[in-house]
Amino acid sequence: MRFSGRELFQLAVAVLALSGALTLLYVLPLLRGGLPVDLLAFLFVASLVAVGTGVGLHEIAHKAVAQRYGHWAEFRYYPLGLLLAFVFAFMGFIYGAPGATIVAGNVRPDENGKISAAGPATNLVLAGGFLALGLALEGAVTTLNAVFLVYAIATSAAFMNLILAGFNMIPFLPFDGAKVWAWNKPAYLGIIAAVLGLFGFGVTRGLFL
């Protein structure tokens, strides 16, 4: 896979900025009682894992499939979207429009559908892996021990990946879901079913903090 320096820089900025906004969302309700530095560091690490996998690998998956078909593809950040992430974090919820992978060339509809499906499908695989890790650690969790920290990071990353997969499968442009729906409706419905199934499993097992 081929990356330009500009692309790597913009992807890193997008991931770090969105991680910062997510950390801010977690931190604001805790400020009145004072915020230990170690807790702040943990929240940022948890956010970085969630965003790095949920956004970073999602975009890289788009790029990998596009390049496999011989197309130029690079991530470009969206500065206004990153700024709005901080604005909305101050308002108590997260909004992420960090950027997108731009694909150029004569892209066939089926290729476009597969390129678009690669991102949410990657989120699903990651969510499944993080949920499995959470289940494996569940019995060893006690308050604020090291296992709990890993468990919390894994389950928050699973949650973030499922939210991003579902959000990106909205069947209207410019979301991935519109292109997947146009290409292959059974594939679209399969991804939606997997998102709902994993999310329901996580909720019923109490894995989402």
Cis before 174? omega within 30: yes
Say yes or no to pLDDT of 137 above 90: no
**What pLDDT score does 32 carry?**
60
Catalytic residue (choose from 7, 59, 74, 111): 59
Q: Please give the residue range of the domain that contains residue 21.
A: 5-204
Average confidence score pLDDT of the chain: 90
Flag the least confident range among 13-22, 38-47, 83-92: 38-47
Structural domain count of the chain? 1
User: CA of 130: how far to CAs of 35, 54, 91, in Å?
Assistant: 27, 11, 29
Q: What is the CA radius of gyration of the chain?
A: 18
**What pLDDT score does 127 carry?**
96
Task: Convert the pLDDT of each residue in 141-151 to its tens digit.
Answer: 776 677 888 88
Is the pTM above the cut of 0.85? yes
Task: Convert the pLDDT of each residue in 1-39 to its tens digit.
Answer: 889 999 999 999 999 999 999 888 888 776 665 666 667
The single residue listed with the structure tokens 């146009």 is 182
Q: Judge whether 59 counts as a catalytic residue.
A: yes
Question: Is residue 209 situated within a structural domain?
Answer: no
